[in-house]
Amino acid sequence: MGLRIHFVVDPHGWCCMGLIVFVWLYNIVLIPKIVLFPHYEEGHIPGILIIIFYGISIFCLVALVRASITDPGRLPENPKIPHGEREFWELCNKCNLMRPKRSHHCSRCGHCVRRMDHHCPWINNCVGEDNHWLFLQLCFYTELLTCYALMFSFCHYYYFLPLKKHNLDLFVFRHELAIMRLAAFMGITMLVGITGLFYTQLIGIITEDQEMVPGLSPHCFSYRTSEYSHCSALGEVANNTHKQHVGMWKVF
């Protein structure tokens, strides 16, 4: 299915998304300036690590843009209900339009979204049927970039050899400790938040697919059963659910 462009006019969402872009720019500019390039010039790290850092950063930004502007599954004003499926549709009491039963009305966007998960202010868009996999992709790349940046921040002070050349005339080196502390604070905060969100999203997908696929074994989804991990549950879902979820997991 092709991805449709979708913009949400919401100043609150623009502010939240602008904050995310600021954090991205802060790390993409200052960490290479303070850590990566100086240690590369003194032979402490290979250049491939810098390329990987910028590569993950670009993937993260592209994922943010795609998740933000992709139509989450907005229902048209006059949807065509397939023959024989009317019993699975209902009337929305807010926009007075017919919608599938798994759809929800977003009060911020002002329309119904198929299989809506939530409205995310950080991407200024709803997370629904058509962009859920893009949202998971964004979470994955953000967590990867955050771990990568925190790793270099830790190694800069506790593992790498001390830098011999320091240009204290530059602002970033005069205030290096404060800048790196702020970067570490933002990184840890984002890592904790994204990890919790990513985990709950995966659990939500598993439990939702259990309802949609009756052939799955019930004990696969029991949180108290130690015989089945969440990875095995994901494997069983991937082997039994319908084809639209295949593209979601290709991102990993």
CA 54 from centre of chain: 18
Q: Which alpha helices (DSSP H) does 121-175 contain, by range?
A: 132-158, 171-174
What is the C-alpha separation between 196 and 204, in angstroms, rounded?
12
Q: How far apart are CA 162 and CA 164, in angstroms?
A: 6
**Cβ-count burial 59-91 (b if 16+ within 10 Å, e if not):** bbbebbebbbbbbbbbbeeeeeeeeeeeeeeee
Q: Cα(66)–Cα(211) distance, rounded to whole angstroms?
A: 29
Residue of 95, 129, 82, 98 whose CA lies nearest to 242 = 129
Catalytic residue among 60, 109, 112, 120: 120
Residue 120 annotated as catalytic: yes
Q: What's 227's DSSP letter? A: T
Handedness of CA 96, 100, 101, 103 (dihedral sign): negative
Catalytic sites, residue numbers: 120
